[in-house]
Amino acid sequence: MGRKLPPALANAKHPGTVQRIVTAAEGFFAEKGLEGARTGAIARAARVNKALLYYYFRSKQDLHRFTLEMLFSQLRDEVGGKLDERVPPRQRLLNYVNGYFDFVVAHANYPRLVQRQVMSRGAGLAELVDDYFRPLQDRLGATLREGITKGEFRDVDPPQTVLTLIAITVFYFAAAPVVSRLWRCDSLAPARVAARRRAVLDFLEHGLFTTRARTR
């Protein structure tokens, strides 16, 4: 995805207004998708008129692209930043899982926005994969290989295990409506999310970490 700001945003005099527009857009795009979201509704939710919205963003597609760019940039910084190579692999992986949970709790629209973008095979999907998902996959793979070499992790298949790690963290939030109906409760309530976090960490503790790493 392009990293250049729209011209009107480069020197925005009222960044708070831009933030309100993007926050409102994030909710509508998550709920209704690019095609279903209406700029008029976004403008009203952001407490601006459509003319001002179009001053900052040339089109709904431009606003959608920018909204995703902002969200995934935060994901890269807040979650990818947890994979610090100066930290031992075991702790690095724990930091990543905790960082992801913290990120999704703070950005509840993220799972639905990702699902919509992936399922629609939108124009920006290839760039999304290359700019955000691939670097994260590569860093997780490197963490696993280092952990295996140092005896902190079992001798697993790194690419397959990366998919497993992503699945056990992402799926719960992506499938929240289904899980809530199955459990007859709000699966995104803080206590439920905390329980899911503990379950994932326990799974890693006993499914990936070696006895040597667990006893440190």
Domain count, the chain: 2
pLDDT under 70 in the chain at which residues?
1-13, 122-123, 212-216
Indicate which CATH number applies to the domain containing 209.
1.10.357.10
Q: Are residues 39 and 97 both part of a single domain?
A: no
What interhelical angle do 89-106 and 110-120 show, nearest 10?
90
DSSP 48-115: --HHHHHHH-SSHHHHHHHHHHHHHHHHHHHTGGG--TTS-HHHHHHHHHHHHHHHHHH-TTHHHHHH
| 36 shares its domain with 85 | no
> Could you give the CA distance from residue 66 to residue 130 in angstroms, rounded to a whole number?
17
The DSSP bridge partners found for residue 209 are 153
Predicted confidence at residue 4, as pLDDT, reads: 46
Same domain, 34 and 11: yes
Q: Which of 39, 67, 95 is the last residue of a domain?
A: 67
Place of tokens 């109906």: 181
Chain-centroid distance of CA 72 in Å reads: 6
Q: Which domain holds residue 162?
A: 79-214
Q: CA 154, CA 145: separation in Å to the nearest integer? A: 10
Which residue from 164, 178, 199, 60 is spatially nearest to 112, judged by alpha carbons? 178
Residues 143 and 181 in one domain: yes
According to the model, what pLDDT value does residue 207 have? 95
pLDDT digits (tens, 9 = 90+) for 165-194: 999 999 999 999 999 999 999 999 999 999
Is residue 73 one of the residues assigned to a domain? Answer: no
Q: Is residue 125 in a domain?
A: yes
**Is residue 107 domain-shared with residue 164, that is, in the same domain?**
yes
CA nearest to 66, candidates 22, 31, 104, 30: 22
Measure Cα distances from 18 to 25, 41, 72, 77, 158 in Å.
10, 15, 17, 21, 41
Look up the CATH number of the domain holding residue 36: 1.10.10.60
Q: Is residue 72 part of a domain?
A: no
pTM for this entry: 0.84
**Residue 22 is assigned to a structural domain of this protein:** yes
Do 47 and 136 share a domain, yes or no? no
